[in-house]
Structure 1
Amino acid sequence: MRKIKTTLDNNGLLLEACLDMPDISGGPCPGVVLCHPDPRYGGDMSNNIIMAVSWALTEKGIAGMRYNSRGVGRSQGFFGGGVPEQDDARSALSFLVQQEEIDSDRVGIMGYSFGGKIALPVGGGSDAIKAIAGVSPVIPPGVLTDCVKPKLIICGSEDDVVSPNLVLQEAAKMSEPKTVEVIPGVDHFWWGCEEKIAVLVAEFFVNALG
């Protein structure tokens, strides 16, 4: 995995970011924007799930676009509660699709925990994004009800941060195609199960993006 550290410009707000590229060559590859969990509880682009998914993606020939949202790490600005952070994700998406090594017709987005509050509405509202995944996601009510892009929603049965029942309730409202899974015995943080979730997410994007 090659790490390309960069700075995103979100209308003058500078954001820390890193594009993880596959080692293999052979033409432009797909890419996925990765939205980290709540920074108020330590969430950033180096989170264990974000890193595990990015690694698994690159192993499958897909780039992982990690970034720190406003006020996180070296990123400028202040925490905005979720809606302003959607613009940060759009800046990461804009950077990703402009890279020569990325096939702009094969781009996805994933959000973990609070990152779901960012990734799901951004993914549903962007023509550039072809597939959407949420891991233990905070799901805005009614999001993706009319979205016909491939979707993966996955959580752990023992999650005491984001209720699995609430995840299932909101996922049921989403349009097909979708895959919704509850993994037995796993809590919100996926400790010790990072590789398992990362492989599931990477395989979803392989199938959805080619």
Structure 2
Amino acid sequence: MPEVIFNGPAGRIEGRYQPAKKRGAPLAIILHPHPQFGGTMNNQIVYNLFYTFVNRGFSALRFNFRGVGRSQGQFDHGAGELSDAAAALDWMQALNPEAKSCWITGVSFGAWIGMQLLMRRPEIEGFLSIAAMANRYDFSFLAPCPSSGLFVHGSEDRVAPVKEVMAVIEKVKTQKGIQIEHAVVEGANHFFDGRVDQLMEQVGVYLDRKVGPEILKSEQEKA
């Protein structure tokens, strides 16, 4: 898995990128938790999500927001981080001009950034929002939400309680033609301590149903 450095609005951005074997494969970008509370691209959930997409034939990228690791710049309370995510998608599209679609995935703070990017980029066809902090960040911009996706949260999340996330999901669900699904990992806290395997199982079931069989079949036929 190659280390990559690409240009962002605040300077260089550090990432890890795994290209797909198949030309025209979809793209996936995974956004990490809050930079000021230890969030990096090496977060265990981000790491596992990255390989979940790689194993399904996606070209996948995870990266450090500005001011994290070797990424230049300083924390910008979300606005700059959204620009970083947009620059990451631009960079991936330049490398993969035949890719027709993209999935965006975010964890905690990254979920908020990811959903904002979703609203701005019509090529994003699916999303995963893990432990979205609907109680701390405004998600009202998701009306209407342009793409279907999955919210996952822990039943014991005290940072972003399930009921707050459910209020957002129920509102978005009403939008015509959009399927918003949700899953709860029993016993999991905000960081899914000791429950990452259960989280990835929920994500895997959803992706297998949405994209997995088609991509995996094409890879098997190619082999």
Instruction: Map 1:18-33 to 2 at 5 A.
Output: 18-21=16-19, 25-33=21-29
Distance in 1, matches of 2:118 and 2:124, equals 6
User: What amino acid is the match of 1:84?
Assistant: G
State the Cα deviation string for residues 141-194 of structure 1 (Å, max 9, x = none): 313221231111110110011111111111211133110122221111112322
Question: Match for residue 188 of structure 2?
Answer: 186
Instruction: Map 1:148-159 to 2 at 5 A.
Output: 148-159=146-157
Instruction: Map 1:12-161 to 2 at 5 A.
Output: 13-21=11-19, 25-100=21-96, 103-139=98-134, 140-161=138-159
Deviation at 1:136, TM superposition (A): 0.4
Which is richer in helix? 2
User: What amino acid is the match of 2:24?
Assistant: P
User: What amino acid is the match of 1:111?
Assistant: G
Distance in 2, matches of 1:150 and 1:141, equals 15
User: What amino acid is the match of 1:163?
Assistant: P
Paired residue for 1:172, among 170, 173, 180?
170
8 Å contact kept, 1:20–1:66: no
Distance in 2, matches of 1:12 and 1:62, equals 27
Q: 2:77 aligns to what SS in structure 1?
A: coil
Deviation at 1:12, TM superposition (A): 5.4
State the Cα deviation string for residues 36-62 of structure 1 (Å, max 9, x = none): 001111100000100011112212222
Deviation at 1:202, TM superposition (A): 4.3
8 Å contact kept, 1:52–1:195: no
Q: 2:111 aligns to what SS in structure 1?
A: helix
TM-score by length of 1: 0.89
Deviation at 1:72, TM superposition (A): 0.5
8 Å contact kept, 2:19–2:59: yes
8 Å contact kept, 1:32–1:63: yes
Deviation at 1:83, TM superposition (A): 1.8
Q: 1:8 aligns to what SS in structure 2?
A: strand
Q: 1:198 to 1:59 in 2, by over 3 A?
A: same
Which is richer in strand? 1
State the Cα deviation string for residues 45-98 of structure 1 (Å, max 9, x = none): 000100011112212222321010010000111001112210000011111122
User: What amino acid is the match of 2:197?
Assistant: E
Distance in 1, matches of 2:109 and 2:10, equals 24
Q: 1:123 aligns to what SS in structure 2?
A: helix
CA RMSD of aligned residues (A): 1.9
Q: Greater shift after overlay, 169-178 or 38-47?
A: 169-178
Identity of counterpart residues, as a percentage? 25
Structure 1 gaps, min length 5: none
Higher RCO (CA < 8 A, seq sep 6+): 1
8 Å contact kept, 2:150–2:180: yes
Distance in 1, matches of 2:98 and 2:202, equals 22
